[in-house]
Structure 1
């Protein structure tokens, strides 16, 4: 039997949004296809499990926060956990995440910045509406968030800040800077026989 590898990638997990949608579908099916008592018992089961997992997560966060200056042996683990989209969405779901919504939105945008740069134009906590705009992609004159890019950014925001219910995209502000053209040298002309 071989020893487990220390640096294996964690298994893929559904997003908090996908999991929530699936739980609602199952509960709807149970209440629709059974007597009301069975549906109520299923809802109670979900609440009990949520409370249990929430208490466990609270205990984990308590142990990670015990180092007052944040530099103790658990600081690296805490940083890794807060940077993990699944862990972040679970902590936010249970209202245990130590960062506020704006910090988690920034963390989400940072997680996709290299591929799909976007920046916050504003967040309304009362409605859950986040306004974003495509950020400059490095001076090439190309947009930072096409349709696929927008989906990637929105999925990251959903994982890190599930309280964001709506994402609205604004046009990037006009700039007076001209678009840079890529100019390269002309390829050498083929030699002619004389």
Structure 2
């Protein structure tokens, strides 16, 4: 497979779509090609950047595998050297500083990952919990797309509700 042959094949397909007098389908196909080219171009640029600017601990392969974009390209083409369990751990590590979660179980047959929150984050508000879960799920989807569903187990004991104690507002007698 060469870049030239692939380019000709893409052009042929786009030309055949254009000949069908369906401008919407033709435009969608051209947009699809642009989006994919942008995706792969960004991935290749990121690979070059990581290799050029040093890799830190673990060498070049570790730096490449830590990167979400590069990792997703490797997984997409079944080239990633790590197994699913290792990639799930890498996904959780990538968001651990903001959203701690730990694996309860992964069923490879169904693609179901059960997670539990490692700690209550933020104010304990449902919206904060939901945002944290969404961030974790997005990281898992990037690093381990074979995970088809994520189920959350309740974290340990919930923290008691925050009781705020404040001084009384001034009254007319004490305000003077």
TM interval, shorter chain, is 0.5 to 0.7
Give per-residue Cα distances to partners, 1:134-173, cap 9 Å, x unaligned. Answer: 2214797677732x22221111001101111111x33324
Query: What runs of 5+ residues in structure 1 fail to find an aligned partner?
Result: 1-29, 35-41, 47-52, 65-72, 187-191
State the match for 1:123 in structure 2: 106
CA distance in structure 1 between the aligned counterparts of 2:161 and 2:122, rounded to whole angstroms:
7
Match of 2:129 among 120, 124, 145: 145
1:113 aligns with 2:93: no
Return the offset for 1:174: 3.5
**SS of aligned partner of 1:106:** helix
RMSD: 4.0
Match of 2:60 among 62, 65, 77: 77
State the match for 2:10 in structure 1: none
Return the offset for 1:182: 8.4
Structure with bigger RCO (C-alpha 8 Å, 6+ apart): 1
CA distance in structure 2 between the aligned counterparts of 1:152 and 1:135, rounded to whole angstroms:
14
Query: What runs of 5+ residues in structure 2 fail to find an aligned partner?
Result: 1-16, 22-28, 34-39, 168-174
CA distance in structure 1 between the aligned counterparts of 2:164 and 2:57, rounded to whole angstroms:
51
Greater helix fraction, Structure 1 or Structure 2: 2
Change over 3 Å in CA distance of 1:94–1:136 after alignment to 2:
same
Match of 1:165 among 133, 136, 148: 148
CA distance in structure 1 between the aligned counterparts of 2:99 and 2:106, rounded to whole angstroms:
19
Equivalences, count = 129
TM-score normalised per structure 1 = 0.49
Change over 3 Å in CA distance of 1:178–1:86 after alignment to 2:
closer
State the match for 1:23 in structure 2: none
Match of 1:98 among 38, 58, 81: 81
